[in-house]
Amino acid sequence: MGKITGFLEIDRVDKSYKPVEERLKNFNEFTEDLEKKVISDQGARCMDCGIPYCHTGCPVNNIIPDWNDLVYNNKWEEAIEVLHSTNNFPEFTGRICPAPCEAACTLNIDDNPVTIKNIECAIVDNAWKKGLIKPQILDLNTNKKIAVIGSGPAGMAAAQQLIRVGHNVTLYEKNSKIGGLLRYGIPDFKMEKHLIDRRQKQMEDEGLVIKTNVNVGIDISLNELKNNYDAILLSGGAETPRDLKIPGRELKGVMFAMDFLPFQNKRVSGESFNEKYNVTAKDKNVVVIGGGDTGSDCIGTSFRQGAKSVTQIEIMPIPPEKEDKALTWPDWPIKMRVSSSQAEGAIRDFSVLTDSFYGKNGVLEGLKCHRVDENMKVIPNTEFNIKADLSLLAMGFTGPILNNINNDNSFKLDNRSNISANTDDYHTSVKGVFSAGDMRRGQSLVVWAIREGRQAARSIDQYLMGTSDLPR
């Protein structure tokens, strides 16, 4: 908790954004950091609520009241220790997490939750600035070898936990740089990639071996890894995009969001990429199909590339402006939200079904659509067209890309084609092979991936050593 009466005396103050016309000129982060005094005051708003539901709202179970109180009392060094005890990478979650902890905050009953996400980000950014975050080098070697396949947040978290108890860990990544969708899916204006680079350096200094440009199942077989490692963690994410198989899908200008977003990130970083995907929204009318975070990222990216217009359509009905707290709190509510990208000038339309794409000479010209009711049934005589030069499919992901990993069907899969493993030990149906993150649970949040990576690390440690001191 913070100051006993802080929530009564101090108003919520959130980060502000740079003006739209300024931030659209580049792909840099555009949030305006708050001064330390303001952050301390926000920590003071954490009330003695008795049962801190923010703990349960947070997938990694951050000890939020403790570090709020430490920030209020200007104990920033202690605050980063508490924060790191539950989260390896708070600079990631402090930027891109939707903050279910704030939805669960007791003060959210009155729509005034503590600015938990901002405080988290301020703690870790201050720690980096002050040189408080250093490699944790252990003078111990268990001689156990572990392969972690996939370097997204689950793989990174697991790898770091495991090297910190003395195991020899090798992290395999199919791309040229680590980070998974953190690096190639999330635009730089939401999270700049030097944040991943400095964590990579920290982990390499701690003893992590990283092998990039290695696609397990293609460049090296899983059996070969099983023969050379004592345990394996599958953390390759959920990368198979949900398709829209309607007439006109083959037209030039219709593409998956994840055939669009990564290549802008590569342009920013100067990485090489397949010219096949050298597509931009410049001077185009863009229609994004899908109302989630990926769709929002497409909007912000399109505007920065110089799109003429951006329309986002969603088959679901428009959500309510305000949730019924008596029914939803402290759970995550369904309500109308406006992302920073959507606020940059996007047209949003709900209850829209795309019937087909149309075009001329193999090139997209627009979409034919219908209105649907609350049951997503077509409403007769509601046909309309939307002009489009580029349409981005951002309707989520259906499961992992397994390549040749399960050719012999040795892995049990769930009904969504994810690698099946429970949350007690994260052990798959194959002895010595574990799975965590989106590859196990399906498309989800970065913070859930970090949680699963940490918990899987403990299970692997216990499997190899018989016991584990790693947190669960």
Residues 302 and 315 in one domain: yes
Determine the pLDDT at residue 3.
86
Examine residue 263 and state whether it is found in any structural domain, yes or no. yes
Taking 90 as the threshold, does the pLDDT of residue 273 lie above it?
no
What average pLDDT does range 73-82 have in this prediction?
Answer: 98
Residues 377 and 411 in one domain: no
Residues 248 and 389 in one domain: yes
Residues 252 and 389 in one domain: yes
Whether 94 and 67 have beta carbons less than 8 Å apart is answered as no
Report in angstroms the alpha-carbon separations of 81 from 120, 243, 292, 296.
12, 44, 33, 33
What average pLDDT does range 12-23 have in this prediction?
Answer: 97
What average pLDDT does range 128-135 have in this prediction?
Answer: 97
Whether 356 and 220 have beta carbons less than 8 Å apart is answered as no
Whether 255 and 279 have beta carbons less than 8 Å apart is answered as yes
Listed residues 395, 415, 447: the one ending a domain = 395
Listed residues 395, 412, 435: the one ending a domain = 395
Taking 70 as the threshold, does the pLDDT of residue 1 lie above it?
no
Listed residues 356, 378, 395: the one ending a domain = 395
Examine residue 186 and state whether it is found in any structural domain, yes or no. yes
Examine residue 453 and state whether it is found in any structural domain, yes or no. yes
**Band of residue 194 on the pLDDT scale cut at 50, 70, 90:** very high
Determine the pLDDT at residue 408.
86
Could you report the per-residue pLDDT of 152-164, keeping only the tens digit for each?
999 999 999 999 9
Could you report the per-residue pLDDT of 408-455, keeping only the tens digit for each?
889 999 999 999 999 999 999 999 999 999 999 999 999 999 999 999
Whether 47 and 107 have beta carbons less than 8 Å apart is answered as yes
Share of the chain above pLDDT 90, in %: 95
Residues 381 and 458 in one domain: no
Examine residue 137 and state whether it is found in any structural domain, yes or no. no
Output Rg (C-alpha) for the chain, integer angstroms.
Answer: 23
Residues 68 and 123 in one domain: yes
Taking 80 as the threshold, does the pLDDT of residue 274 lie above it?
no
Examine residue 226 and state whether it is found in any structural domain, yes or no. yes
Q: Is 205 helix (H, G, I), strand (E, B) or coil?
A: helix
Q: Is 463 helix (H, G, I), strand (E, B) or coil?
A: helix
Taking 80 as the threshold, does the pLDDT of residue 369 lie above it?
yes
Examine residue 386 and state whether it is found in any structural domain, yes or no. yes
Count Cα neighbours of 429 within 13 Å in the Cβ-side half-sphere.
Answer: 11
**Band of residue 472 on the pLDDT scale cut at 50, 70, 90:** confident
Amino acid identity at 354 = T
Determine the pLDDT at residue 2.
73
Residues 303 and 216 in one domain: no
Whether 309 and 413 have beta carbons less than 8 Å apart is answered as no
Residues 385 and 405 in one domain: no
Examine residue 83 and state whether it is found in any structural domain, yes or no. yes
**Considering its fold, how many domains does the chain have in total?**
3
Helices within 290-377 (DSSP H only): 293-305, 325-328
Residues 14 and 34 in one domain: yes
Residues 198 and 300 in one domain: no
Could you report the per-residue pLDDT of 232-269, keeping only the tens digit for each?
999 999 999 999 999 999 999 999 999 999 999 999 99
Where in the sequence is the domain holding 68, given as residue range(s)?
Answer: 6-129
Whether 145 and 170 have beta carbons less than 8 Å apart is answered as yes
N residues, the chain: 472
Examine residue 139 and state whether it is found in any structural domain, yes or no. no
CATH number, position 286: 3.50.50.60
The candidate with the shortest Cα–Cα distance to 289, out of 264, 317, 315, 318, is: 315
Residues 207 and 273 in one domain: no
Sort 376 into a burial class: Cβ within 10 Å, 0-12 / 13-18 / 19+: exposed
Residues 271 and 190 in one domain: no
Q: What is the pTM of this model?
A: 0.96
